[in-house]
């Protein structure tokens, strides 16, 4: 089952444009599925080190903000398949906003209410490792 449902697109894009971009069977079109997959992989690259996206994509109810961002990225990739002259400024701005948010969340400058990556005992995994050098064996002064 796909994370983005067919009715989710109705909030972001008109039916006439949907048919122009991917044909009559928009939701099952190869172009849309490829654009969605690209957007999910892109999201994984930005925030996948910190947040467990497998859990995010399985959450019920789904995080509506993640749905919106993923749709913005998907539609940008779908539009860019048709040629850059067809890409609206509005779509470019929404895509850039999504990328900016992902960058900020990925580097930790803003928090997100998403499940963190955990180890086998359920403790949140951090990017930061703290260690020290072994003490010297020779204590001669």
68, 81, 123 from 131: Cα distances, Å:
40, 48, 18
Q: Side-chain half-sphere of 107: how many Cα atoms within 13 Å?
A: 6
What is the tally of helices (H) and strands (E) in the chain? 6, 0
pTM: 0.83
Mean pLDDT in residue range 33-46: 96
- Reported as a single tens digit per residue, the pLDDT across 87-129 is 788 889 999 999 999 999 999 899 999 999 998 888 887 666 6
Tell me what pLDDT residue 140 has. 67
Is the torsion defined by CA of 117, 120, 123, 127 positive or negative? negative
Tell me what pLDDT residue 37 has. 96
Residues 6 or more apart in contact with residue 92 via CB below 8 angstroms? 76
- Reported as a single tens digit per residue, the pLDDT across 47-86 is 999 999 999 999 899 999 999 999 999 999 988 877 766 6
Residues 6 or more apart in contact with residue 53 via CB below 8 angstroms? 40, 43, 44, 47
Is the predicted pLDDT of residue 28 greater than 70, yes or no? yes
CA distance 91 to 98: 11
């Amino acid at each position: 089952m796909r994370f983005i449902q067919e009715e989710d697109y109705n909030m972001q894009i008109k039916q006439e444009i949907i048919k122009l971009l991917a044909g009559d069977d928009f939701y099952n079109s190869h172009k849309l599925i490829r654009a969605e997959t690209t957007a999910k992989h892109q999201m994984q690259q930005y925030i996948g080190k910190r947040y467990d996206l497998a859990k995010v994509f399985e959450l019920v109810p789904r995080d509506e903000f993640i749905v919106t961002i993923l749709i913005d990225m998907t539609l940008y990739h779908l539009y860019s398949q048709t040629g850059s002259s067809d890409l609206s400024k509005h779509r470019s701005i929404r895509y850039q906003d999504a990328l900016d948010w992902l960058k900020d969340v990925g580097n930790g400058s803003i928090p997100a209410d998403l499940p963190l990556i955990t180890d086998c005992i359920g403790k949140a995994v951090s990017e930061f490792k703290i260690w020290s050098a072994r003490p010297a064996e020779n204590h001669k002064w």
